[in-house]
Homo-oligomer: A and B are copies of this chain.
Amino acid sequence: MEIVFLFYDGMTALDAVGPHEILCRLPNASVKRVALKSGLINTDSSLILKAEYSLSNVQRADILVVPGSGSATTLREYPDVLNWLRKIHTTTTWTTSVCTGSLILGATGVLAGLKATSHWATLDRLHIWGAKPINARVVEDGKIITAAGVSAGIDMALALASKVAGQKFAETLQLGIEYDPAPPFDVGSPDKADPLILESLRKRMVSLFESIN
């Protein structure tokens, strides 16, 4: 099973590493980390990851994962990446995204007419590409699964693991990473957050994403 992660400068490390920690343990998984050009990738938290493959080295995927970005860097400036995503999407069983990765999928056109989610601060922008924004942690429409912001990639990957390898297998993976979350505060989504914190963060994030679209 070919599992392909798209890496790019400015990506959010946890968007990819959460699902990676789960999906790499699927039966017969062969994981490829792919970038416009193979080599070292600067994430938006200054952590550096390696992509072993360039786009031209990867022609297909059973599962494709597109992480998001909290920086002004955008893949949408690169037609080669969008064209590659369109091509890989025709070969996948599952095409997935985490956080603002759904905006990248949107820009390829594959979300047109479909339900999808994104980071809460950018959810409305899915309209730009004809998708139907859904306020949910994980949204499945056909073979496309989109996850909400950053940490939602873990929930998405476990749900996907269950589809691919069965619920018992997914439960084993979940127990393996001891995923019995206990956040110190119950403020992780807009409807639960302090309104002042929410508006401050929304302004920063919305202006960031408006500047690149």
Chain A interface residues toward B at CB < 8 A: 12-14, 17-18, 20-21, 24-25, 31, 33, 40, 45-50, 52, 70, 99, 119-120, 137-138, 148-152, 154-155, 158-159, 162, 167-168, 170-172, 174-190, 192-194, 197-198, 200-201, 205
A177 touching B201, Cβ below 8 Å: no
Query: CA of A178 to CA of B201 in the docked complex: distance in angstroms?
Result: 11
A48 touching B49, Cβ below 8 Å: yes
Which residue from B17, B167, B180, B194 sits with its C-beta under 8 Å from A188? B180
B24 touching A20, Cβ below 8 Å: no
The 4 closest A-B pairs by CB, nearest first: A149-B178, A180-B188, A181-B181, A48-B50
Query: CA of A201 to CA of B173 in the docked complex: distance in angstroms?
Result: 9
